[in-house]
Amino acid sequence: MNPKAVAVAGATGLVGRQMLKTLEERNFPIKSLKLLASERSRGRTMTFKGETVPVEVLTETSFEGVDIALFSAGGGTSKKFAPCAARSGCVVVDNSSAWRMDPDVPLVVPEVNPGDIAKNKGIIANPNCSTIQMVVVLKPLHDAARIRRVVVSTYQAVSGAGNKALDELTTQTRAVLDGKESAPAVFPHPIAFNVIPQIGDFEDNGYTSEEMKMVHETCKIMGDDSIRVTATTVRVPVINGHSESVNIETERKLTAAQARELLAKAPGVVVTDDPARSVYPLAVNATGKGETFVGRIREDLSHPSAIDLWVVSDNLLKGAALNAVQIAELL
């Protein structure tokens, strides 16, 4: 790969920092690096490959001479600045939800639909974290037996909601253990020692915005609008690593053994499935790893052509930063 001029917008945030770490660990060929953030970060510096890099304030002219920009600065910021970057001749890989369902913007998971990258007009969308880990597992099964329906329940870590959410979990946990109260600010209810069946705002159909992201994004990434998806997304008091219970109905029956074999060969997937020894994917084991882990692979007793899976991945890595960097590598 030829060295590229790279910018990271939202560099000081949780995902932005992970993007920098991932670029460094994967030795991405960087000719120059520009770190961008809001006015609040003016004067800050960050370290990349042992060098101190200043953080600049993001403006409409920040992308002159930049080849690839990784955005993780929120939907409003992306809506405003991603078109500016594209007009400058830069290709944006955006981690927000701003562009995901735009028909002119590819929504890409490299293990699933890498060819869609070529359709970009200056902006490529990075999918929702919970969608990414699920479609990496769905792809080989869909190719083999065609998926008709997916029922997914997620158990999502607080890191998916950012630094303030992590602080809230820590503060509330200490308060509960000390017999005190701590009012929620990030989440609608206390998250410590609790489970909250709401991620995002509720829509008129009773689903949350996070659940509808999984519905719509899955079909777009898989390139098949006939796949029916229903989701329940839940926030749990876990620091990092999203877990999912996924039930998959296929057109042609897959045995558990066949599914296990397909998944073992799939790119980016690691099968961790030995229930006799209590071996299955765990959020604590997935943290810091770029693969998507799958286990508890079994045939659905209530349906003649369905299987159940347990899917776990690091939401800050494969669910965000790593997926974006993989797209940049393909670019």
Per-residue model confidence as pLDDT tens digits over 65-116: 999 999 999 899 999 999 999 999 999 999 999 999 999 999 999 999 999 9
- For residue 248, the Cα-to-chain-centroid distance in whole angstroms is 20
What letters, b where the CB count within 10 A reaches 16 and e where it falls short, cover 83-119? ebbbebebbbbbbbbbbbeeeebbbbbbbbbeebbee
Q: pLDDT digit string (tens) for 146-195?
A: 999 999 999 999 999 999 999 999 999 999 999 999 999 999 999 999 99
The active-site residue, picked from 84, 90, 129, 142, is: 129
Which pLDDT score is estimated for 2? 87
Q: pLDDT digit string (tens) for 16-73?
A: 999 999 999 999 999 999 999 998 888 899 999 999 999 999 999 999 999 999 999 9
What percentage of the chain exceeds 70 in pLDDT? 100
The active-site residue, picked from 84, 90, 142, 242, is: 242
Q: Rounded to two decimals, what is the model's pTM?
A: 0.95
pLDDT higher than 90, residue 317 = yes
User: What number of residues does the chain have?
Assistant: 331
d(CA 111, CA 189): 36
Which pLDDT score is estimated for 42? 87
Residue 189 catalytic? no
d(CA 145, CA 162): 37
Q: Which domains does the chain have, with CATH numbers?
A: 4-127+321-330 (3.40.50.720), 131-315 (3.30.360.10)
Q: pLDDT digit string (tens) for 216-234?
A: 999 999 999 999 999 999 9
Residue 242 catalytic? yes
